[in-house]
Amino acid sequence: MERGPLETLIAEEIRAHGPISFARFMERALLEPAIGYYASQQVRAGRSGDFMTAPELHPLLGAAIARLAEETWRRIGCPQPFRWIEFGAGSGALLLAALAHLEREDSPLLAALEIEAIEANPFRRAELEASVAALPQHARPRLVQRDTTARGEIAGIVVANEFLDALPFHIVVGRTAAPRGFLERCVGLDASSGELTWVEAEPDAAYEHSLTARVQAHTAAAATLAEGQLAEFSLAADAWVATLPSYLDRGVALVIDYGRESGALRDAATRMAGTALAYSEHRATSDLLSDPGGRDLTAHVDLTALRVAATAAGLGHIASTTQAGLLAAAGIDGELQRLRSGPDATLEGALALRTALASLMDPRGMGGFAVELFTAGSPSDRMALSNPADPLPGTAAPIRRLV
């Protein structure tokens, strides 16, 4: 079969330097300028794309997060400005739904809000900027870029919906005879066909120490990997969490994604093949190497590692719930009422809401997505944000039972 342009580039890199980690393969497959899966102009999310996310399905999640943002803002003393910092913001579906909710509710937060949208795809980013620019002036927050040189204190909310699962991960394979008990599953070239193929190798010296530490932290807390068992470890996700204090001084950080605790993710009885998948046209496949740049690559988020990294970065952990729990406890009953029977309600809108709710609340689907909430700020900020007797909107649902 003829090689695509990205496959050719990756093969050249392997020919020049030897097998590469899956994390490196994924970085190029997703983000290679102009031709990577998330770098090209082609629309990936939504019905006509490869996957559906909650904000693409319905504005309800945006309304719930707007409530959480507003209450966070109030509890830390209504700072001006208050920043909405969104990672992987796409073309802004979640942000625009949140802004629309704040406008409808005539929220005073709207006047204090500024937006920092972090989006790798220049086309989606331009769409987001155009949509914000088209908002009426009273409902149009300032778009800002991060100033890393001289910045004042930043109060706000960090939002990362289905972002962490798209960050590059390493794949390791349990090998009891190997000195570390595992080898890395790297990407090489088949000697006869020249096709991309899996090869097992010791991890590269550049990241060997961090990867070994992550695998060992997992095996110390849970179980060693079985012979031949595959497991993903995202050093990029750890590194992302470590950067959060450089974005936010006071407020909350909200992560929503499909994920499990470390032990459940790598349970040999159910997860011998790991969780990595490639997505195309709403279909998943475990063939990760074909058509780089043409498919989404993703794996479940390790929630245990996320909390460990957040604590190491100085963040406080205040809630673990699910997307269904967040929506149920976010206090958006008024929003539901409005969509069902408010003055602007339509039959189409009510039916769309019903269909969307079935997906958004489905415990085996998006409703079961993990929601992790962290705090940043002074001890009094943190107390105000994590009062168990008065939880933030969306966090009052029972703590998730993880399997």
Ligand X SMILES: C[S@@+](CC[C@H](N)C(=O)[O-])C[C@H]1O[C@@H](n2cnc3c(N)ncnc32)[C@H](O)[C@@H]1O
Binding site for ligand X (CB under 6 A): 38, 45, 53, 55-56, 88, 90, 93-94, 118-121, 124, 161-163, 166
Q: Which residue is nearest to ligand X (CB)?
A: 88
Amino acid at 81: P
3-state helix, strand, coil in the chain (%, to 5): 40, 20, 40
CA distances in angstroms from 243 to 213, 248, 249, listed in the order given: 19, 9, 12
**Based on CB atoms, which residue is closest to ligand X, 42 or 311?**
42
CA distances in angstroms from 95 to 65, 121, 130, listed in the order given: 9, 16, 13
**Based on CB atoms, which residue is closest to ligand X, 62 or 203?**
62
Distance of closest approach, residue 345 Cβ to ligand X, in angstroms: 25
Q: Could you tell me which residues are beta bridge partners of residue 114?
A: 83, 142
Distance of closest approach, residue 53 Cβ to ligand X, in angstroms: 3
In angstroms, the CA 69 to CA 6 distance is: 40
Distance of closest approach, residue 339 Cβ to ligand X, in angstroms: 20
Neighbours of 133 (CB within 10 A): 9
Distance of closest approach, residue 39 Cβ to ligand X, in angstroms: 8
**Based on CB atoms, which residue is closest to ligand X, 157 or 183?**
157
| CA distance from start to end of the chain | 42
Distance of closest approach, residue 119 Cβ to ligand X, in angstroms: 5
Q: Could you tell me which residues are beta bridge partners of residue 30?
A: none
Distance of closest approach, residue 167 Cβ to ligand X, in angstroms: 6
**Based on CB atoms, which residue is closest to ligand X, 36 or 316?**
36
**Based on CB atoms, which residue is closest to ligand X, 124 or 170?**
124
Each residue of 168-193: b (16+ CB within 10 Å) or e? bbbbbbbbeeeebbbbbbbbbbeeee
Distance of closest approach, residue 340 Cβ to ligand X, in angstroms: 24
In angstroms, the CA 94 to CA 167 distance is: 19
**Based on CB atoms, which residue is closest to ligand X, 21 or 219?**
21
Distance of closest approach, residue 289 Cβ to ligand X, in angstroms: 19
In angstroms, the CA 274 to CA 302 distance is: 12
Residues 6+ apart with CB under 8 A from 244: 158, 253, 310, 313, 315, 374, 376
- Whether the CB-CB separation of 285 and 278 falls below 8 Å is answered with yes
**Based on CB atoms, which residue is closest to ligand X, 50 or 335?**
50
How far, rounded to the nearest angstrom, does the alpha carbon of residue 273 sit from its chain's CA centroid? Answer: 22
**Based on CB atoms, which residue is closest to ligand X, 121 or 386?**
121
Q: Could you tell me which residues are beta bridge partners of residue 85?
A: 116, 158
**Based on CB atoms, which residue is closest to ligand X, 90 or 391?**
90
**Based on CB atoms, which residue is closest to ligand X, 11 or 97?**
97
Each residue of 368-396: b (16+ CB within 10 Å) or e? ebbbbbbbbbeeebbebbbeeeebbbbbb
**Based on CB atoms, which residue is closest to ligand X, 123 or 198?**
123
Q: Which has the closest alpha carbon to 256: 335, 156, 360? A: 360
Distance of closest approach, residue 58 Cβ to ligand X, in angstroms: 11
In angstroms, the CA 13 to CA 124 distance is: 28
Distance of closest approach, residue 20 Cβ to ligand X, in angstroms: 18
Distance of closest approach, residue 355 Cβ to ligand X, in angstroms: 18
